[in-house]
Structure formats: C-alpha cells, structure tokens
Amino acid sequence: MSSIKRCTIDLQPLTESTKETNSCQDCFNFKVFEEKFNKMNSNMQELREIIVKQNEAIMESLAKQKVLAERVLHQENENNNLRSVFPINSVEELKKIDTTICEENRDLYINIMKSLLKGRLSKTFTDVISTRVCMDVNVDGVHGKKRLKDFKVFYHALKDACRSLGSDEPEIDIRNSLKIIKKRFIHSE
C-alpha cells in the first residue's frame, strides 16, 4: 500500500499585470499550480484505485465468511435435529433411521453416535439405542430377537463410530455392550 503524501500549494494572488514580465511570472505561477494540481490529482487517483481494490478484497472476504458461517449454522441445525433422533426408542425408529442414513449424511450420524458413545461403550450405548430396544435386539438375531445386522446401514455406521473411538473389534464390543445392558436391566427388576 502506498503512503499518502501531503502537498501544500503556495499561491499568491495574481496581480494585474501591466508589464510583460509580470504576465510571464503569472504564466509561470499558473504552470506550477497546474503541475501541482495534476500531481495531486494523480495521487488521489492512485489512492482511489487502492481503496477500490481493498474494498473488493474486503467484500470478497466477507462473502466467503458469510458462506462459511451459513454452512456452520446449517450443520449445527442439522446436528441438533439428528441428535434429537437418539436414543432410538423402538424397532420402528431403528428401521426409519436405517433408511434415512445415506452417503450424504452418514458422516453426520457417525459423528453424533461417536459423541454419544464416548467413555465405556456398555455405559453409553443406551444413549444411542434405548434399553428397551437393546432388550429386543441382538447382533445375530438369535433367541427370537431382532437381528441388529439386518439394519445394515445403521449397523455399519455404528461400527464405524465405535472404531473411530478406538475399538479394534467393534462387533464384539457391541455384542458385549448389549449383553451387559440386558444383564443390568434384568438385575434391576
């Protein structure tokens, strides 16, 4: 950015010329004034161009920030809406979520499940699937229970959420969590 230069113009009032020398002096003064004015005008034009470029850069940055802020707000709203889906309170809700999860929103579901499953899986698993649903399902669908693996999209997202929390064998961890939740429920009655 160029610096602003201040110029002072020293003009003396033009006297009425009676002699030719005065007239030439007046022409000289006028030319000096005109040169200073032109220089000042060009400096102002340069400053104007700099300001216009800076304004364009600022407006472009503001537009980008607006887009990013809208994305974040939209994502937060979407996260809050998805967060209200959990815990899953019925097998019908489980079916609905299984059909709702797609490639576009899969990562959102995984991130929400991951945030709900922090800590010991057997303690936090009921934040994703309610105890009532845990009592109605198991991983393989044995003993007359619903098979959790039949809800393929949800089950894979759940496994990925467990895996991202450090689980080496998420299927075994899910199976053990369901077992512990069921024992806890039976002993509490």
Q: What is the reported pTM?
A: 0.60
pLDDT 10s digits, 21-32: 566 777 888 888
What is the average pLDDT across 133-147? 91
Spatial contact of 149 and 155, defined as CB atoms under 8 Å apart: yes
Positive or negative, the Cα torsion across 181, 182, 186, 187? negative
pLDDT 10s digits, 141-152: 888 899 999 999
pLDDT 10s digits, 21-77: 566 777 888 888 889 999 999 999 999 999 999 999 999 999 999 999 888 888 777
- For 137, the enclosing helix (H) or strand (E) is strand 137-138
Spatial contact of 17 and 26, defined as CB atoms under 8 Å apart: yes
Q: Which amino acid appears at position 5 of this protein?
A: K
Has residue 128 got a pLDDT over 70? yes
Phi, psi of 71 (to 5 degrees): -60, -45
pLDDT value of position 75: 75
